[in-house]
Amino acid sequence: MKPTRLLLSLCLTFGLTLGGAQAQTVMRISIATAQDSHQGVAIDTFAREVEKRTDGRYQIKTFYNGALGGEREYVEAVQMGTQELALSTTGPIPNFVPETKILDMPFLFRDKAHARAVLDGPIGAELLKKFDGRGFKALGWGENGFRHMTNNVRAIHTPEDLHGLKMRTMENPVHIRAYKALGIIPTPMAFPEVFTALQQGTVDGQENPLSIIIAGKFEQVQKHISLTGHVYSPCVWLMNPDAYAKLSDADKQAFLEAAIEGTKANRARVDADDASGVEYLRKGGMEVIEDVDKTKFIAALAEANAYFEQEFGADNIQQIRDFK
């Protein structure tokens, strides 16, 4: 039997098509943190759900630890179409979608339940629409968590303790303005560079949620952690709009549902890390400062908040604060 006839016979026998071998589409998704992190759990879950919900026609290859660049780099890659998917914190996002800046205001959210309700509700849905026409299809919101401050110089109880500290920050204009108001010398830096910068003393400290601090092993290079909870940090699922447009309606729904499942796993890991993280870091040798005077932090941000009210609208800020 000729090779072509043999292949055709095998395909008919096993219920395949000649084009079956080419039927699977491979896409890439990346994060800046480790696989064993709240973001790693998120994209691993997303990848499994996409493959399951599309009967294996789509495979999501996952990349961790900034293997495809820092957040700004892979967000740009998704926008340009050289990468299909990414899960990013909102750190660099205002540079692409300015309307999201409001979410990064310090002390905007009461707690995780409040933040999740806002993002899962009409306010979050309206913000996701702002990504349209900016080079992205936003599939949904994920979570990074409430951010806390670590450093190697001194314990932080009040804003006065922050004066003159050189702190790594995300490439986020809201954070940078707020941290300057607190007396910090902000040093924007991609996350994959942070551990080495702390180790070498290029910066005195950094600020991140417990999940990131643990996944980044910062207890190895930082002495003090202050539970400031100064900013709630969301994540967002991003997809290149051309890649999304090529999906069938059923597959579009599969990707959206996979993002929802990824967020469930992501938030569950954040909750687990928040529950055990303080004791873990204390056992790792860090001094944990829990008696942080948040009222003084809020007072020190009065001028920055006045600026934010002008930029975002006081009513819009209050709408988020009052959301139940």
> Which contacts (CB < 8 Å, 24+ apart) does range 250-256 have?
251/54, 251/57, 251/58, 254/49, 254/50, 254/53, 254/54, 254/58, 255/50, 255/139, 256/139, 256/140
Secondary structure (DSSP) of 275-307: HHHHHHHHHTTPEEE----HHHHHHHTHHHHHH
Domain boundary assignment for the chain: 22-312
Query: In a 3-state reduction of DSSP, which class is residue 198?
Result: helix
Per-residue pLDDT tens digits of the chain, which is 324 residues long? 444 444 434 343 333 333 444 479 999 999 999 999 999 999 999 999 999 999 999 999 999 999 999 999 999 999 999 999 999 999 999 999 999 999 999 999 999 999 999 999 999 999 999 999 999 999 999 999 999 999 999 999 999 999 999 999 998 999 999 999 999 999 999 999 999 999 999 999 999 999 999 999 999 999 999 999 999 999 999 999 999 999 999 999 999 999 999 999 999 999 999 999 999 999 999 999 999 999 999 999 999 999 999 999 999 999 999 999
Find the distance separating the first CA and the last CA of the chain, reported in whole Å.
71
> Which contacts (CB < 8 Å, 24+ apart) does range 186-194 have?
190/32, 190/66, 190/69, 190/70, 190/71, 190/72, 190/73, 191/32, 191/33, 191/66, 191/70, 191/71, 191/216, 192/32, 192/65, 192/66, 192/70, 193/70, 194/168, 194/218
Distance from C-alpha of 5 to C-alpha of 13, rounded to nearest angstrom: 12
Distance from C-alpha of 169 to C-alpha of 171, rounded to nearest angstrom: 7
CA dist list (Å): 292 to 165, 221, 222: 17, 22, 18
- The per-residue b/e assignment along 71-82, b for 16 or more CB within 10 angstroms, e otherwise, is bbbbbbbbbeee
**Contact (CB, 8 A) for 45 and 261:** yes
Q: Looking at residue 184, what DSSP letter applies?
A: -
Rounded to the nearest 5°, which phi and psi values hold at 207?
Answer: -140, 130
Task: Tokens for 224, please give them.
Answer: 């003090």
Distance from C-alpha of 239 to C-alpha of 81, rounded to nearest angstrom: 9
- Name the CA dihedral angle for 98, 136, 188, 160, rounded to a multiple of 10 degrees: 50
Specify the pLDDT at position 95.
93
Task: Tokens for 245, please give them.
Answer: 């447009």
Looking at domain 22-312, its CATH class is: alpha beta
Count helices and strands (H / E) in the chain.
Answer: 13, 10
Secondary structure (DSSP) of 130-176: TTTTTT-EEEEEEEEEEEEEEESS---SSGGGGTT-EEEE-S-HHHH
Distance from C-alpha of 136 to C-alpha of 128, rounded to nearest angstrom: 10
Distance from C-alpha of 34 to C-alpha of 212, rounded to nearest angstrom: 9
